[in-house]
Amino acid sequence: MNTLKTFMLLTIMTLFFVWIGGFLGGRTGMTFAIIFAAGMNFFAYWFSDKVILKMYKAHEVTEAEAPELYSIVRRLTQKAGMPMPKVYIIDADQPNAFATGRNPKHAAVAVTNSIMRLLSREELEGVIGHELAHIKHRDILVSSVAATIAGAISYLAQMAQWAFIFGGFGRGNDERGGNPFVALIMMIVAPIAAMIVQMAISRSREFAADTGGAKITGNPRYLASALRKLHMASERIPMNATPATSHLFIVNPLSGKKVAKLFSTHPPVEERIARLEAMSL
């Protein structure tokens, strides 16, 4: 099902790019947009996880380097009947975590080093269980592709903004460009489209991953307690995260910013905690 959703997402975004390309540059713009979309789709499918991990300077660790974390991931993956994902650590002050990859056989779990200082072993198990549920549900491909597409849309909006400022639209007689209102629309629509991609991907899946993670660990209160601590920390401690990838994290890394709250890619933490606590009754 998620494979079909990924295909639909890539198709819709391809059509979006072609439409924008036609408005901004006529036939030439559409041709460029098709080439760009084809390259983006190929890149997003095969390399989005590597780009995201590199973006946050995540480094892979072995069992000898992070024995407690590695043992938690290994035990829970065996319990869930899943392949062992690669394990990464991100050097960041904000405690957070995410999973990425194409499928369960090519997956990675990344946590910040600060999360291991903040959480107890049981709470860390709750977080890892949540991320493994994302992998098991095959959410990670859709989420990684969405992050790449959202980033591309945001980049396209920036290009339109600069082109509008310097008058770079509409070269040639057969072009339909040259209309400053088109650039203005692009500057408004593109960031909204990027945010819609993220919000459509994340909200319902976070609830499903919370439930799935609780089943993997066997105790919903592990994750409930972890979410409470992580949410409080994210409010106080900033993280150098991009809006295009914020939906990947277990809690919104931008939640400390007032503007980000208006376009949150995550459901309310209070509601997530309440659902988890209700499971343990």
The count of other CB atoms within 10 Å of the CB of residue 42 is 11
Q: Token digits for 248?
A: 């990947």
- With beta carbons less than 8 A apart as the criterion, state whether 73 and 125 touch: no
Selected catalytic residue, list 60, 63, 123, 131: 131
Count of beta carbons in the 10 Å neighbourhood of residue 31? 14
DSSP β-bridge partners for residue 60: 88
Q: How far is CA 78 from CA 32, 66, 117, 174, 216, in A?
A: 47, 18, 25, 61, 10
Between the alpha carbon of residue 11 and those of residues 4, 107, 141, 150, 248, the distances in Å are 10, 24, 15, 14, 21
Output helix, strand, coil percentages for the chain, rounded to the nearest 5: 70, 10, 25
The tokens of 70 are what? 């590695």
CB 173 within 8 A of CB 241: no
H or E element: which one contains 265? none
HSE-CB for 93 with a 13 A CA cutoff: 7
The yes-or-no answer on residue 175 being catalytic is: no
* Residues with catalytic roles: 131
